[in-house]
């Protein structure tokens, strides 16, 4: 299935990725090729077939409601690109 550059742009935006013209063009071609290839799935009858969610069909894994030690804020700070007043700092959120 051919995909338009417009769609690639939209999907890139959704993915928070920025593509320049060249990347966009190449991406459109490559994604189209892959979509063409996966198109073969459409011919397989799957009515009533349950989609796999977990390969072994297992269910219910829980933990008890127990509080354990949190990560010390110094360790959080250490990995953060910009940390001020005990918080992660980002360019102003609008809206």
Partner 1 sequence: MKDFEAVIGLEVHVQLATHSKIFAVSSTKSGAEPNTFTDPVTLALPGCLPVLNKRVLDFAIKLGLATNCKIMRESILARKHYHYPDLPKGYQISQYDKPICLAGHVNVRVGGDVKRIGLTRIHLEEDAGKSVHLDAAPISLVDLNRAGVPLVEIVSEPDIRNAEEAGAYMRQLRQIVRYLDICDGNMEEGSLRCDANVSVRKIGATEFGTKVEIKNLNSFRYVEKAIDYEIERQIGVITSGGTIVQETRLWDDVSGETRSMRSKEYADDYRYFPDPDLLPLIVDDDWIDNVRKTLPELPEQAYRRFTNTYKLDPYIVELLTEEKLVSSYFDQAVSLHNNPTSIANWITTELFGRLNKEGTNLTECPVSPENLAQLVKLIDDGTISGKIAKTVFDEMFETGGSPAHIVETKGLRQVSDSGLIREAINAVITANPEQVQSYKSGKTKVFGFFVGQVMKDTQGKVNPTLLNELLKKTLDS
Partner 2 sequence: MNELIKLSVLEMRDGLLTGNFSSVDLAKAHLEEIKATNSTYNSFLTVTEELALSQAAAADVKLSLQKSNSPILTGIPVAIKDQLVTEGVKTTCASKILKGFIPPYNCTAVKKLLDDGAVIVGKTNQDEFAMGSSSENSAFGVVRNPWDIESVPGGSSSGSAVAVAAGQAPLSLGTDTGGSIRQPASFTGIVGVKPTYGRVSRYGAVAFASSLDQIGPFGRCVEDAALCLRAIAGKDKRDSTSMEVPVHDYLHEIKKFDGHLKGLRIGLPKEYFIPGMDKEVEDSIRQSLKTYEKLGAEIVEISLPHTEYAIAVYYIVACAEASSNLARYDGVRYGYRYPEAQTLSEMYEKSRSLGFGAEVKRRIILGTYVLSAGYYDAYYKKAQQVRTLVINDFKAAFVNNCDVIATPVSPTTAFKIGEKTADPLQMYLGDVFTVPCSLAGLPGVSIPCGLDSKNLPIGLQLIGKPFSENALLKVAYSFGKETKFDTSKVIGRRF
Q: Which residues bind partner 1 (CB under 8 A)?
A: 10, 13-14, 16, 53-54, 58-71, 73, 76, 79, 84-95
Task: Please check whether residue 49 is in contact with residue 57, taking contact to mean a CB–CB distance below 8 angstroms.
Answer: no
- Class of residue 24 by CB neighbours under 10 A (exposed 0-12, middle 13-18, buried 19+): middle
- Largest interatomic CA distance in the chain: 57
Give the C-alpha separation, 83 to 12, whole Å: 28
Residues 53-92 interacting with partner 2 (rule: CB under 8 A)? 53-56, 58, 61, 63, 71, 75-76, 78-82, 88, 90-92
Task: Decide if 35 contacts 73 (C-beta within 8 A).
Answer: no
11 binds partner 2 (CB under 8 A): yes
Q: Which residues bind partner 2 (CB under 8 A)?
A: 3, 7-8, 11-12, 14-19, 23, 27, 30-31, 33-35, 37-38, 40-42, 44, 46, 49-56, 58, 61, 63, 71, 75-76, 78-82, 88, 90-94
């Amino acid at each position: 299935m051919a995909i338009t550059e417009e769609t690639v742009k939209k999907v890139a935006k959704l993915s928070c990725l920025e593509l320049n013209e060249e990347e966009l063009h190449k991406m459109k071609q490559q994604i189209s090729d892959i979509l063409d290839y996966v198109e073969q799935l459409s011919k397989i009858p799957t009515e009533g077939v349950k989609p796999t969610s977990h390969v072994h069909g297992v269910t219910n894994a829980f933990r008890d409601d127990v509080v354990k030690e949190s990560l010390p804020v110094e360790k959080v700070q250490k990995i953060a690109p910009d940390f001020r007043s005990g918080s992660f700092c980002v360019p102003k959120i609008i809206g």
